[in-house]
Amino acid sequence: MTAPPQFAVAGRVPSGAAVLGVPVFSDLSVPAGAGATVDRDFLVQRRFEGQPGQAQAVLADDGTTVVALGVGPRNRVSADGLRRAGAALARNAGDATEVATTLLAATRDPDLMAAAVEGIGLGAYRFEGARKVTRSGGLARVVVVGSTRNQERRASVEAAVHRGQVASDATWRARDWVNRPPRDLTPTELARLATEAAAGSGVTIEAWDEERIRAERLGGLLGVAAGSAEPPRLLRLAYEPRRAKTTVALVGKGVTFDSGGLSLKSAAGMMTMKSDMGGAAAVIAAIIAAAKLDLPVRVVGWVAATENMPSGTAIHPGDVLVARNGTSIEVLNTDAEGRLILADALCLAAEEEPDAIVDIATLTGGQRVALGDGVAAVMGTDDALVRRVISAGAAAGEPAWQMPLVGAYRKQLDSEVADLRNVTTKPAASSIMAALFLKEFTAGRAWAHLDIAAPSWSDGDDGWITKGGTGWGTRTLIELLRGWA
């Protein structure tokens, strides 16, 4: 596994920097303190327009490489623009293992500074996996150049760089877990990795085995796990700073591989199903990040982890499961398994009476149909909480759109043999129907549901997003928790 680059703050450009990333506005000017000039005529010839995500390398007389990084109009520099500029620097650093940048000269806003650092870290991501020959290069160190003469300014820069580094590292972790082959990332291994990652962070983790899961009456999780040779796990994570006045529960779907069960997916439909634990990865990584940022909010995480496999012991369409709160569920489609395991996790979260519950899951294909690959769906019982989630996603560059939780549709989940069924017989509004199902297990608490089925995986690089697991939702959750701070 590769490691994320480490960031350092300096008052001037280091003499040994082989690559220097310099911000360039759309009028092809550079901000004061950028540390280098650029040849406007050369940039014009190369059709460089200073737009976010554009990059143009120029070889300087001393042999170093200056990379012009577009950041957009001088008076409209945005977090997304700087995040894209940072990613462009990482992707245009060649084989350099250490680079310097004056990107932060383009803004005085700490949130925008943190976004630039995130972009560099996320753009540098690579997953080598089991490659026989690994790619050369890879950023190991990034020197962020900012004015350090003013102590207040230096403290602001250092805090922003720290925030950006923590958020980037958390997303790296989530991406790594999503990208691992499913036989290497079983529920048991996910529990081990989470425990290892949390060590020394102030986050405590309990990993419930199958015996404990049965004793706790988690019938949805046990039912989905019944077809797999791999035992399930239920993780409880807790970050509990003494000064916290708010408790937020985060719930993540952790299906480490989804075959669809007896309602078997097609071969093509299974190709990316190692990513079906993207919600769990985001929850674990975000809670550890909250601890590293020392946020004054209590966070309790619940992750239900299992495989969904077909076998002689798998649940059948028509079987009835009983969730922790006693609700009986008729399973008409075993490929609608995520909501079954989330039901138990939501019950556990609600029992602790938090101020808010947010679940995140790669839940429905309907989310992609409705919103495409670049926007998550959010629904909930509390409009203020939903607005918080949307605002957090906007700050993280992970947009979410509110879909209606249509109460009149609930009757479509009525079952003749149980309290409700896990799917309807109609193909319409699948994302909404899934959310209505989950609502039954929230005990009336303030709750929001984030469906990241499409944006959790990408077929190619785009800005800060890299091919494969995107880690989507990790930074949204971090920003959400920061909002309570």
Active site residues: 265, 339
Helix count (H) and strand count (E) of the chain?
14, 19
Distance between CA atoms of residues 187 and 139, nearest Å: 31
* Paired tokens of 96: 């350099």
Four-residue CA torsion sign, 176, 288, 144, 98: negative
Distance between CA atoms of residues 360 and 377, nearest Å: 10
| Angle (deg, nearest 10), helices 474-484 and 383-396 | 120
* Paired tokens of 122: 């996320």
Angle, CA 467 vertex, CA 463 and CA 470 arms, to 5°: 75
Distance between CA atoms of residues 353 and 460, nearest Å: 41
Output phi, psi for 77, to 5 deg: -70, 130
331 Cα distance to chain centroid = 29
In three-state secondary structure terms, 82 is helix
Q: How many CB atoms lie within 10 A of CB 202?
A: 15
Distance between CA atoms of residues 338 and 220, nearest Å: 9
